[in-house]
Amino acid sequence: MLTFNPESVSRGVASTVTLNKAELLALVPVDNYFSDSNNWKKVVTVYKSDSNNQNKILSFDSSKELPTASFLISDKSVGNFLLEKIIIQDFDYGSFVISRSEITDVTNFDAII
């Protein structure tokens, strides 16, 4: 699944990450309030370095047709950044959380440097 694809991620260079809402929607149970992407205000992804406790948080404005975020890893940073969770927020700041363990294939979510 290609929902987040931090292509060409390298240290010290900002990369644009595009959110594919249709593919993310496939991870939300059909009978859930959040199964209607019109209820989404923001999607947040939380990444954690596999070599220390450094976190990266990306925030997407899901009201846009193709939401994007900037992914910048310092040139002093070490390790890869692995997706921890995805948080979908509605307009009242209610949220639906998808943890890493709930995603079958995280290959295209992780930033392997």
Q: Name the pairing type of β-strands 40-49 and 81-90.
A: antiparallel
**Structural domain contains residue 7:** no
All residues at 6 or more sequence positions from 38 whose CB lies less than 8 Å from its CB, including other chains: none
Q: In the chain, how many domains are there?
A: 1
Distance, in Å, from the CA atom of 87 to the CA atom of 98, rounded to the nearest integer, reads 6
**Structural domain contains residue 70:** yes
**Structural domain contains residue 97:** yes
**Structural domain contains residue 108:** no
Please report the pLDDT score of residue 81 as a whole number.
Answer: 87
Distance, in Å, from the CA atom of 98 to the CA atom of 73, rounded to the nearest integer, reads 23
**Structural domain contains residue 4:** no
Q: Which of the 8 DSSP states describes residue 63?
A: T
Mean pLDDT per 10-residue interval, the chain, length 113 residues: 52 82 87 91 92 88 90 81 92 94 80 72
**Structural domain contains residue 56:** yes
Q: What's the whole-model pTM score?
A: 0.86
Domain that holds residue 40: 15-101
